[in-house]
Amino acid sequence: MATQDQRIADNSKRSVDASNRQSKAVPDATIAASRLDQRAWLGISNVRIVQFEKDKPFKINVDFKNTGKTPSLQTMVSIKWVQDFNIRPGPKDEWFNAIMEPAEAISPQGGTQYIWT
């Protein structure tokens, strides 16, 4: 009888522990979703060729927009041109050697422009 009572007590404890873990998981998921919703969301909103002339450097203007709810404070930008006449599919090693440069902060719903040569 004592063995059966111990088994019942152990099963009850496991059930309570599982319930506590599930109860904690719900607010943790809600907090994580809230943080994700509040962050800055940066994207490219427009790309324009601003100089494409013989004997002059090729220049493009890239507009970035923050569609998030908080400012983008530690923004970094980078661009890497690769001309591949073999049309090899998939990522290329040179894509991962880009030099990152600090950029200005972007306010929520704000934007900024960068011109690359």
Q: What is the pLDDT of residues 61-108, one digit of tens each?
A: 888 898 888 898 888 877 766 666 677 676 677 666 777 778 888 888
Domain ranges of the chain: 1-38, 42-116
Beta carbons of 79 and 98 less than 8 angstroms apart = yes
Residue 77's DSSP bridge partners are 101
Q: How distant, in Å, are the alpha carbons of 52, 55, 85, 94 from that of 58?
A: 5, 9, 19, 20
Mean pLDDT, the chain, integer: 77
CA dihedral 11, 17, 20, 26 (to 10 degrees): -100
